[in-house]
Chains A and B, each alone.
Chain A
Amino acid sequence: MWDNLQLLFVWAPIINVQVILDGIFVGAVFALSAYGLALVWGVMNIKNLAQGDFVIMGGYMALALHQLHVPLVLILLIVMPVMFMFGWIVYVLMIRRIIDQDMFVSLLATFGLSLLLQQVMNLIFGPEVQTIDMELPVYDAFDNMVTVPSSKLITLILAGVIATGVIIFMKRSRAGQAIRATAQDPRAARVLGIDIDRVYAFTFAFNAALCGAAGVLVSIIWVIQPFYGITYSVRSFAIVTAAGLGNLPAVIGAGFGIGLFEKYTGAILGTAYEVAAPVSILLLVLIWRQIQMRRNRQVVR
């Protein structure tokens, strides 16, 4: 650990650029799935613990499509609608039945869904770690100290495009308006003729599509494995806890923050802490929020 610190801050500070860039790349992806979680949480009060497994699902779909030589943008355009439909089906089969229930029911039910999805993916794709190799050029800078694969740049741009699309959609479209209205006051939305059930179904499906998109990007810049989902769920929860519900800029900020924290943890402590890092971030965020709230004589709820 001491060696790593010296390397980072004394011998080759330029490596920081690499770590920061990597942090931003993964942070953008985290932000996408976290925003989906915030949406579902805020609108229908469902805490989706299968969030990470939706991401991994999207990743495997991308992998399968890539093996059929489908181009990247087209992969996104296929995966997002398919995940949207998947989300809608999950809503009809299970979420609808637990929506008015105690929050713990939703946590546990989606945890069950998470176990189920993991095992199904494990049966289909096997437990190996996999990734998509786009075979795109890699740029070097600072005497090969910093490498920037163009695939990562492309995913960053795509993430930006998706986020912008989501912002415009939520602000301008009828469906977006209905979602915001329902989140703020479902009773009032109902008396204005908004079909709450469809808004919920749409929101959950929309979240699945966002996760699917994040999964596509993950499979390009990182690795996927059937059981990696839980870390994405944990990261999403950490981000939402830190940023609050329904505030996209804050979610993106927190996403980058967590991306950076993880990459620095990896660079300093070594990659053995891959699972521990997001979990410890979550615990730290929870403790930090408690201290903040206690100052206001409140608790985190």
Chain B
Amino acid sequence: MKTYLELFLAFLKIGAFTFGGGYAMIPLIEKEVVVHKKWVHKDDIINLFAIAQSIPGAIAINTSTLIGYKVAGRRGAIAATSGVILPSFLIIIVVATFFGKIARTPTVEAIFLGINGAVVALILVAAKRMVQSAVVDGLTLMIFMGTVFSVIFTTISPVWVIILGGLIGFVSYQQIRERKNTP
């Protein structure tokens, strides 16, 4: 029971402070799930991010559900997902009831000038950690650079890039290992 509550509260916190969608959630998840609670090892979390982005649905929800499941099974998945959804749900209902719209007043704009800077910096730091964990040789470096290039300069869906990466990994991993093993 305690674990379910901990999962719910951890993801409640993450949901309440994610500004700008699924990627902005990654630094918060790392801090809570990997560093604080040690629920997932830092080398494994990237695999969960990978699955979250390969299946349909919001990345934020997929990630929460996966981590919840890994930590405490089905009920854990439900606890984490409810936690991540609840702040949005309540905040939007309050906004929709009382304001109807949030005016882009100079005050709101100024606050977001600050928050946006922090969000970009935090995602960059998360990316650095992912690179350290995932880019282990020349081939993975090429896959990394190819992905960045394809996202910035083409309109290819990331799903295809993920599938291609998986295929390249499947085909070449063995060859590399075999080469290393032969004197």
> Are A and B a genuine interacting pair, yes or no?
no
Residues of B within 8 A of A (CB): none
Residues of A within 8 A of B (CB): none
